Copies of this chain bind each other. A is one copy, B any other.
Amino acid sequence: MSESESSCQRIDGLATSKALYAEYKERVAELKEKHGQAPALAVILVGERKDSQTYVRMKTKACNEVGVEPVEHTLPEDVSEAKLMEVVAELNADPKVNGILVQLPLPKHIDADKVVQSISPLKDVDGLTEANAGNLFRLGMKGRFIPCTALGCMLLLKRYNVPLEGKHAVVIGRSMLVGKPVSLLLQSENATVTMCHSRTKDLPSVVQQADIVIAAIGKANFVQGDWLKPGAVVIDVGINAVDDSTKKAGFRLVGDVEYASAVKVASAATPVPGGVGPMTVACLIGNTINAFELAHKN
């Protein structure tokens, strides 16, 4: 490790998520004692996609780790949209279920957005419904259920005491799940935010001005170290597979930022894997606990 590299702080999403799980475990234990039941997260998996199965497994494992009850619903690949909507409606009505997650993508014959929008906003722990988008638009970090990856980025910045007020944040990517919500959240924390995307001209010069860079475009090693302002903080949301014959799997995971060159310039950066990824799952669990508290408030 070179001298310059060692001066870049590693923003450790894995360690941060573990700290969150420890807090969640305590909160769940308290809630269980108070209300006689644990928060429950329903996870709906349609079909047998290997990647989706892996994600569902990670999520149920995280539930188990903190004492949240996972309620798995596995439906066949050819399930009808109507049947799937019915399952969501039943879970919406079930007072024992606090969070509902539909693992995406869904098979092509199903209108995924229609299904997702039918989730009760009070159980939409992924923050995907229009109602919760509007809530975030209005309330920022005080929003009801903030999309997990966007929230994960914010919690990393907060846990690492990265100042936001008056800082210039550049967000690359404008997805519903990350770019757009994280832009509004950074703004609600008093950062000046520039929202960039595929049509942005001369992106390197825009990034050059950023105190904080959030990269969420899904392009391997796209943002180069020499684009960064010295001392910038980099949050890399990308998880991209690139060919690597030295690995057993034949590939390795890299972010949207070229890590090796970035750490020579940045003051702090998230690695991939081990950065935002683990935070996303942790935030899902956090949102589920919040949903339980919301349901038991009255």
Residues of B within 8 A of A138 (CB): 130, 133, 176
Dominant secondary structure of chain A at its interface with chain B:
mixed
- Restricting to A154-200, which residues have a CB under 8 Å from any CB of B? 165-166, 168, 174, 176, 180, 183-184, 187, 190-197, 199-200
Q: How far is the CA of A36 from the CA of B67 in the complex (A)?
A: 61
Q: Which of B129, B187, B200 touches A174 (beta carbons < 8 Å)? A: B187
> At the interface, yes or no: A227 with Cβ under 8 Å from chain B?
no
Is there contact, CB below 8 Å, between B195 and A200?
no
**A-B CB contact pairs (8 Å), 6 listed:** A130-B134, A130-B138, A133-B133, A133-B138, A137-B137, A166-B200
Give A contacts to B, CB under 8 Å.
Answer: 129-138, 165-166, 168, 174, 176, 180, 183-184, 187, 190-197, 199-201, 206
Is there contact, CB below 8 Å, between A195 and B206?
no
Q: How far is the CA of A201 from the CA of B137 in the complex (A)?
A: 23
- Complex copy number for this chain: 2
Q: Give A43 Cβ to nearest chain B Cβ, in Å.
A: 24
Is there contact, CB below 8 Å, between B190 and A197?
yes
Q: Which of B135, B196, B197 touches A130 (beta carbons < 8 Å)? A: B135
Residues of B within 8 A of A168 (CB): 201
Q: Give A149 Cβ to nearest chain B Cβ, in Å.
A: 16
Residues of B within 8 A of A200 (CB): 166, 192
Residues of B within 8 A of A191 (CB): 199
Listed from nearest, the 4 A-B pairs whose CB atoms lie closest are A134-B134, A130-B134, A133-B134, A190-B199
